[in-house]
A and B are shown apart, each in its own frame.
Chain A
């Protein structure tokens, strides 16, 4: 059974790029760029991994990561934070994420980190 990945980012091109990358390795993907929709879809889609852009989550006052970790249905789903910020690693952990990858990334790095958490 193929693993499911939910990609949450506000840039449609990035969504497309990441989606393409994951589908190359036979992952099933769902993309969303809206905060509220993201929570909804998480609860119904129940992905194996969530990729989340930090700017979306943190500074906009949209604290998806925290909410997902509090929701019963989604609290066990690993969240990997993506961000351009160099100090985002620590911020990501504080926001409740399980791991972090810096933008821009190598697709192999992305695939490795998704594989690691999508067990």
Chain B
């Protein structure tokens, strides 16, 4: 069948059909209808109405749309007019009003059928085009995804059974598409995590939050384990109903080797930088003790000032090292179950010793355990508390609120100090962002504490935010979800 490209202005299905047929079919069917009517009349003396011609109009309409059907209509009308309108003789004369109305109605209905059939043809054409586009885009997508060899990209149904598999998945995990599609994705997890129901928990979290990112061991077809970086994204339809999940897994083995070296370097750098600071601090404090004994106020004063600078230097180095770890994407966490209550109490005790001016009060408690890196979460809390102290120099109270809810716990640290204006609030968790007060006085520090804290909390899949009013104080919050176990 010769195919013509669709006419952009009258993009009909019929316009792709061969011209010959679009002409032949109406003519043929009309003649056929004519013949049938004559036969039925002469052979069987049946006065059949000329409605038989409607059949040919409709066939033409079905086949070729408006023009074809119109041709059939016109032909039929002509034949009817001449041969059948007047019962007694054949002519093109209208004898009475009855005949006029009859032929007019026939013509009008024929045109109506033609027009309506055109709409049907257009709709069909549109859906055909859509289908072709959809098919093309599906094939394109499949090619794109399939060709990627560095990432395992595959999809799951809402229950976690594998529904598609790309070349990268075969390369990284070892399974062929044929043998893995239909199996449950928990097959990739180490047994301990299956026992803890982790794969199912992960899907729940991905469904709830839209995505879940995980780093951990995965098992290949041959049983060997490799370190993977996995992102699971939930797929929703227009009504928000879960259709399944897409999963992208990256083999991190090479990365981890490189990162191990980076980690070792950072660890050594940390050690190297902190070692001289340790000695300087100790000697400084010993001298402070001695000058206290010797009642040398002048020395005491200078040594005290030095101590402040040593601590500041230490803080900067710590922050720098943390930030460089974050940049390397490798602020490593040692996650385990721990009690948030106990941690809060510990940290508050420690910080309380650093300030005689502020009283730190804990309100509320949480009974369930959190799965996370205890030291790092402690770091966030410490950061909040030291900020609270730093930015409320003329008040004496800091409140730590522990707010447990069904699936999560929120910790808030409230100070009654200078507060943060709206414009700063948005940026305060960014790297290197420091707040300037109106008189351009800056508070010491590199501006990295909150950036580091937000990285830690986000990588625990939690939330971190601030509520504050300038002049009244600020409350910094972070939320962590309980484990599903």
Contact = CB atoms under 8 A, between A and B. Distances in A.
Contacts of A17: 278-279, 282-283, 286
Given A86-B375, A90-B375, A107 B285 contact: yes
Nearest to A102: B274
B124 interface: no
A103 B374 contact: no
Nearest to A82: B278
Contacts of A59: 264, 267
A104 interface: yes
Contacts of A36: none
A20 B279 CA distance: 11
Interface residues of B, number: 30
B375 A13 contact: no
A14 B270 contact: no
Interface in A75-119: 83-87, 89-91, 103-108
Nearest to B382: A86
B186 to A, nearest CB: 29
A98 B446 CA distance: 34
A13 B267 contact: no
Interface residues of A, number: 25
B379 interface: yes
What is the interface of chain B mostly: helix, strand, loop, or mixed? helix
Contacts of B278: 14, 17, 84, 103-105
A21 B334 contact: no
Interface string B259-270: 000001001101
A85 B272 CA distance: 11
Nearest to B322: A86
Nearest to B282: A17
B267 A104 contact: no
Given A86-B379, A87-B334, A87-B376, A20 B286 contact: yes
A24 B283 CA distance: 12
Given A24-B286, A59-B264, A84-B270, A14 B275 contact: yes
Contacts of A91: 334
Contacts of B281: 104-106
Interface majority SS (helix, strand, loop, mixed), chain A: helix
B213 interface: no
A55 interface: yes
Contact of A14 (B279, B334, B336): B279
Contacts of B375: 86-87, 89-90
B372 to A, nearest CB: 12
A38 interface: no
A18 interface: yes
A84 B273 CA distance: 9
A84 to B, nearest CB: 4
A106 B376 CA distance: 22
B289 interface: yes
- Which of B278, B310, B373 gathers most chain A CB within 10 Å? B278
A85 B270 contact: yes
Contacts of B352: none
Contacts of A11: 275, 279
A85 B269 CA distance: 11
B311 to A, nearest CB: 8
A85 B336 CA distance: 18
A53 B268 CA distance: 13
Contact of B310 (A55, A86, A104): A104
7 contacts: A11-B275, A14-B275, A21-B285, A85-B267, A89-B375, A103-B274, A105-B278
Interface of B: 264, 267-268, 270-271, 273-279, 281-283, 285-286, 289, 310, 314, 318, 322, 332, 334, 336, 373-376, 379
